[in-house]
């Protein structure tokens, strides 16, 4: 696999280099130069296989020549040792529950695979690495747990102090050993900007920094796999499918775009956002304006005013966007709008849908999943398209008890992964958004 930078100023690299480096030297994001295509015959052959086997067979072709098959199979089966339920709402609507992993978040799918792949390459090269990751909610806990206890990788997680739920925070701060949590007096976009600046800082190059955010291609590729899986379980090739994806930093949605480009017959991708509506506005107008600061919504993991992965989306449709959000070449807007429908959902609509869905279907959903479902409803109302659709439930409702109880008056039962953090001691440090202070923090602890 050859990967290029979305800023087009860096040399092409292989997958191992892109994975370990995280961000390209020109501050762009790595993108595969070409993607393998899966024929209808190849897809149909996987239809009855369990999730880890489907994932292994797909990755074997995607990462051909990058890792030996025996190691890849062991890594895949170890990473995906939990269920991926597809819950029927009605005959043409399903919820894919990506909340059954160790941190009850869809981020487990990417983080666990990425951690194991990194460990494989680092052991082979006898190297050490420090992972910097910014989180708006679930990424930090998933990354922290995925890398927890690995002796050659240290993780530093930055999160906006007042914009994560108590349970999201505790999943990061109740770990110790090789995991450090930094509460930042700012927004997610501030955390992300500090991490990106550190990667580009020549003074810190000797610290061997890398990323586990969705800016890392190692996060993106595993997120293609569950789109293949749900398609295979619900459709017969070449029947089409629609996916509605709660979107913040747009890594999850980019996984769906890659799956479409690799052969999954996806009719439409619904990118459902909260009140941070910069992407729907861009698709409508062709002009991109960041939201600074991002709006604070109850679907907090999606409080992103400038999604990093938008640069990848624009690249795959023929455009060029730099890390600051400046577009020097517009993508093919007709094709982009043909493939993607994006809509913004208010907090009021989100709360109402959590309540309505429970009362009508006796199904618990949380704010992010509600945004996905409302996005699908908006799409269907606009187009009258009743193609079978899958919406993504990206976190367990018990991670957001205040919002769920406020909407329906009932608290969802805690999964075991969340029960285990109750009452544990928290470890975290506090910083403001001054990059120089963050830089000093890194040098003091890592040099």
Residue at token pair 């957001």: 400
- For the packed helices 225-234 and 51-62, what is the interaxial angle rounded to 10 degrees? 130
Termini Cα distance of the chain: 33
The domain in which residue 348 lies consists of 216-411
Residue 14 lies in a domain: no
pLDDT at 215: 85
pLDDT attached to residue 176: 82
- Is the same domain home to 200 and 223? no
- Which pLDDT tens digit goes with each residue over 138-194? 788 899 999 998 878 999 999 999 988 888 899 999 998 999 999 999 998 899 899
Structure tokens at 336: 């982009």
Residues sharing a CB contact under 8 Å with residue 271, sequence separation 6 or more, in sequence order: 245, 247, 250, 253, 279, 280, 340, 341, 342, 343, 375
In whole angstroms, how far apart are CA 46 and each of 37, 38, 223, 310? 15, 11, 18, 31
Q: 45 in a domain, yes or no?
A: no
The two structure tokens encoding residue 20: 């370990």
Residues 6+ apart with CB under 8 A from 192: 134, 213, 249, 308
Q: Are strands 327-329 and 320-321 parallel, antiparallel or unpaired?
A: antiparallel
**Same domain (yes/no): 330, 435:** no
Residues 207-211: what's their mean pLDDT?
89
Q: Taking residues 40-62, report their average pLDDT.
A: 98
Say yes or no: 349 and 301 in one domain: yes
Residue among 187, 200, 198, 180 at smallest CA distance from 249:
187
What tens digit of pLDDT does each residue of 103-122 get? Answer: 899 999 999 999 999 999 99
**Of residues 237 and 212, which shows the higher confidence score?**
237
Q: Identify the CA nearest to 192 among candidates 79, 308, 314, 26.
A: 308
- Looking at the structure, tell me whether residues 197 and 303 fall in a common domain: no
Cα distance between residue 10 and residue 305, in whole Å:
26
Per-residue confidence (pLDDT) for residue 420, from 0 to 100: 85
Residues 235 and 362 in one domain: yes
Q: Are residues 232 and 306 in the same domain?
A: yes
> Is 130 within the bounds of a domain?
yes
Copy the structure tokens of residue 89: 């709402």
Decide which of 229 and 188 is more confident. Answer: 229
71 belongs to a structural domain: no
In this structure, the answer to whether residues 304 and 406 fall within a common structural domain is yes
**∠227-139-98 over CA atoms, to 5°?**
35
Mean pLDDT is lowest, of 86-90, 94-98, 112-116, 401-405, for: 401-405
pLDDT tens string 285-325: 999 999 999 999 999 889 999 999 999 999 999 999 999 99
378 & 430 share domain: no
Confidence check: pLDDT of 137 > 80 = no
Shared domain check, 151 and 139 = yes
Q: Are residues 244 and 148 in the same domain?
A: no
What residues are paired with 132 via a beta bridge?
156, 211
The predicted structure's pLDDT at residue 83: 95
Q: What is the mean pLDDT of residues 248-274?
A: 97
The residues facing 325 across adjacent strands are: none
Mapping DSSP onto H, E and C, the string for 301-340 reads HHCCCCCCCHHHHHHHCCCEECCCCCEEECCCHHHHHHHE
Phi, psi of 141 (to 5 degrees): -70, -40
% of the chain residues with pLDDT over 90: 81
Is residue 3 situated within a structural domain? no
- Conformational region of residue 237, where left means phi above 0, alpha means psi within -120 to 50, and beta covers everything else: beta
Q: Give me the pLDDT at residue 125, please.
A: 87
In DSSP notation, 143-195 reads: HHHHHTT-TTEEEEEEEETTSS-HHHHHHHHT--TTEEEEEESS-HHHHHHHH
101 inside domain? no
Q: Is residue 166 part of a domain?
A: yes
9 in a domain, yes or no? no
What is the number of domains present in the chain? 2
Residues 387 and 252 in one domain: yes
250: domain CATH number? 3.40.50.1100
More confident residue, 45 or 141: 45
* 171 and 309 assigned to the same domain: no
């Amino acid at each position: 696999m050859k990967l290029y930078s979305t800023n087009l100023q860096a040399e092409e690299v292989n997958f191992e280099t892109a994975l370990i480096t995280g961000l390209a030297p020109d501050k762009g994001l790595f993108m595969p130069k070409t993607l393998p295509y899966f024929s209808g015959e190849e897809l149909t052959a996987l239809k009855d296989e369990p999730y880890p086997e489907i994932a292994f067979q797909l990755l074997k072709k995607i990462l051909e020549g990058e890792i030996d098959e025996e190691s890849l199979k062991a890594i895949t089966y170890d990473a995906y040792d939990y269920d991926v339920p597809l819950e029927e709402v009605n005959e043409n609507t399903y919820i894919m529950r990506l909340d059954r992993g160790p941190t009850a978040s869809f981020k487990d799918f990417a983080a666990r695979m990425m951690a194991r792949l990194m460990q494989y390459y680092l052991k082979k090269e006898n190297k050490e690495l420090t992972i910097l990751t910014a989180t708006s909610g679930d990424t930090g806990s998933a990354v922290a747990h995925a890398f927890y206890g690995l002796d050659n990788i240290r993780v530093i997680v930055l999160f906006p102090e007042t914009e994560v739920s108590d349970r999201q925070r505790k999943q990061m701060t109740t770990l110790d050993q090789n995991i450090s949590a930094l509460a930042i007096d700012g927004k997610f976009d501030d955390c992300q900007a500090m991490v990106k600046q550190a990667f580009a800082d020549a003074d810190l190059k000797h610290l061997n920094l890398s990323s586990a955010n969705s800016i890392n291609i190692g996060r993106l590729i595993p997120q293609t796999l569950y789109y293949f899986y749900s398609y295979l379980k619900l459709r017969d090739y070449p029947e089409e499918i629609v996916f509605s994806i709660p979107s913040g930093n747009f890594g999850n949605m980019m996984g769906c775009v890659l799956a479409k480009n690799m052969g999954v017959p996806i009719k439409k991708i619904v990118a459902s956002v909260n009140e941070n509506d910069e992407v729907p506005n861009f698709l409508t107008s062709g002009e991109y304006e960041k939201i600074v600061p991002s709006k604070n919504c109850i679907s907090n993991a999606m409080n992103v005013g400038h999604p990093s992965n938008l640069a990848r989306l624009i690249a795959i449709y023929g455009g060029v966007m730099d890390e600051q959000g400046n577009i020097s070449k517009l993508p093919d807007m007709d094709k982009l709008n043909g493939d993607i429908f994006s809509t913004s959902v208010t907090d009021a609509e989100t709360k109402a849908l959590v309540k309505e869905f429970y009362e009508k279907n006796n199904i618990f959903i949380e704010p992010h999943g509600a945004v996905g479902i409302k996005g699908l409803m908006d799409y269907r109302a606009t187009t009258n398209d009743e193609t079978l659709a899958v919406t993504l439930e990206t976190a367990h409702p018990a991670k957001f008890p205040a919002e769920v109880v406020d909407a329906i008056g009932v608290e969802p039962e805690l999964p075991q992964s969340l029960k285990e953090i109750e009452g544990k001691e928290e470890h975290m440090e506090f910083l403001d958004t001054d990059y120089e202070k963050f830089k000093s923090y890194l040098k003091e602890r890592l040099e």
